[in-house]
Amino acid sequence: MRPVRVLVLKPQELSRSGHVGESLRERGAEITEHVLVDDGPPPALDGYDAMVVTGAPWSVYGEEVRPWIGALLARLRDAVEQDVPVLGICFGAQAFAEAMGGWVARARDTEVGLREVSTDDAALVPAGPWFMWHGDTFGPPDGATVIARTDAGPQAYTLGPHLLVQFHPEATADIVTAWLAYDDADFHAAGVDPAETLAAIRAGAADSKRRADAIVDRFLREAGTGRA
């Protein structure tokens, strides 16, 4: 039986798949990564069994994404029509909402650092702590089920086989270090110490990987691609 083929769409090179990509590979998946800002519009879904859309330092409605956001939204709609399950992470979850008739807007507060969530399905999305870094919020599309939230808004939802999360299950200490080097202004504005956050991520690395594994396992199983 052939391995599961997963298309990973990364808005930019720093949008790494981290724990999620590692979990997929450990389960025998073959991953193709496509960097939207460098490689252009995403490829067709022919031959792919699942799709992951990672985070970005930009907004779905921002000028920075204008050259390729239309193609990404179209590919997300293709995935729904073709029954290719999507795991959307932060920007990916927001883009999925936008593509399917929901909305994305600036949030009242920027959520950064490690946060707990209130969850209705702890087997799929445990309470945390999850690494968060987002200044936007979203309204899920019609038919979606919100399964996790904070006071600032929804943090995870499902729509059929698709799983969309606002937090970052992929985040490793190396990934967050690179993101902070790119721009740490949100942390300082929120009064969150980047060094303390990184220390906590390193200390909890094994647990973070375990929770990412659980999300990947459940995603593959619910998507009907558990043969990985």
Sign of CA dihedral 45, 43, 4, 9: negative
Task: Decide if 154 contacts 166 (C-beta within 8 A).
Answer: yes
Q: What is the amino acid identity at position 199?
A: A
Q: Which residue has the tokens 């702590």?
A: 129
Residue of 98, 111, 162, 170 with catalytic role: 170
Whether 64 is catalytic is: no
- What are the Cα distances from residue 161, in Å, to 45, 67, 82, 158, 178? 16, 29, 12, 7, 32
Residue of 19, 90, 98, 134 with catalytic role: 90
| Sequential DSSP letters for 185-221 | HHHHHHT--HHHHHHHHHHTHHHHHHHHHHHHHHHHH
Task: Decide if 97 contacts 63 (C-beta within 8 A).
Answer: no
Whether 162 is catalytic is: no
Residue of 19, 134, 168, 222 with catalytic role: 168
Whether 19 is catalytic is: no
- What are the Cα distances from residue 225, in Å, to 51, 161, 188, 202? 12, 10, 41, 31
Tokens of 194: 């980047």
Q: How far apart are CA 189 and CA 3, in angstroms?
A: 45
| Omega of the bond leading into 154 within 30 degrees of 0 (cis) | no
Q: List residues with catalytic annotation.
A: 90, 168, 170
